[in-house]
Amino acid sequence: MDNNQDKIIDEKKYNKLIVVLSIVIPVAVAALFGIKIDAQLPVFLPPIYASVNALTALILVLAFVAIQKKNIKLHNRLMKFAIVLSVLFLLMYIAYHMTSDSTKFGGEGVAKYFYYFILITHILLSIVVIPFVLITYVRAITNNIEKHKKIAKITFPLWLYVAITGVIVFIMISPYYA
């Protein structure tokens, strides 16, 4: 077998896991929204997980700069950190929504339409980006760099948009937290 066939075989090992995670994560989050636990969290999570989103956006940009400068080792570390931050965000987000009622946006007029546009695109793209991140990561760890570069050009702006709009949603709804 040549090197390209080896890469394809290596990637195929991960495909089922990518499909499963791409379906299970959004379905689990949606299902957990319906579960309410009567517990008081020791901290108010929204500003914390919004900060994690902001840090994720910064790390993504730094990873982009690192790879532009051909610093592959730093790029790899930063991307792994961005994945860890995204998982941490998700866990805090679920914990908050399982223990607290959702906050309604109280703004009106253009602000209301802008908020809901950002919120809806943020939610939809946060689902869409999951398989992109996983495929991009698998292509990196299987050393399929040409395919990694191609999909990273799509993954990066999607993931960055999700991270930044998460912060915007928090800022816009923060005056309405009880």
Please give the CATH topology (third level) of the domain spanning 3-176: Four Helix Bundle (Hemerythrin (Met), subunit A) (1.20.120)
Residue boundaries of the structural domains of the chain? 3-176
CB atoms within 10 A of CB 92: 18
pLDDT attached to residue 177: 87
What's the pLDDT tens digit per position in 67-101? 999 999 999 999 999 999 999 999 999 999 899 88
Give the whole-angstrom CA distance, residue 57 versus residue 53.
6
What's the pLDDT tens digit per position in 31-58? 888 888 888 888 899 999 999 999 999 9
pLDDT band at 1 (very low <50, low <70, confident <90, very high): very low
Give the whole-angstrom CA distance, residue 121 versus residue 166.
10
Q: Measured at the alpha carbon of residue 54, what is the angle toward residues 39 and 139, in degrees to the nearest 5?
A: 100
pLDDT greater than 50 at residue 4: yes
- Of the candidates 103, 160, 152, 149, the residue with the CA atom closest to the CA atom of residue 126: 160
pLDDT attached to residue 36: 87
pLDDT attached to residue 35: 87
Tokens in use for 7?
């890469």
Give the whole-angstrom CA distance, residue 178 versus residue 26.
27
pLDDT attached to residue 9: 64
What's the pLDDT tens digit per position in 122-144? 999 999 999 999 999 999 999 99
Say what the pTM is. 0.90
pLDDT attached to residue 38: 86
Q: What is the DSSP letter of 175?
A: G
104: left (phi over 0), alpha (psi -120 to 50) or beta: beta
pLDDT attached to residue 42: 85
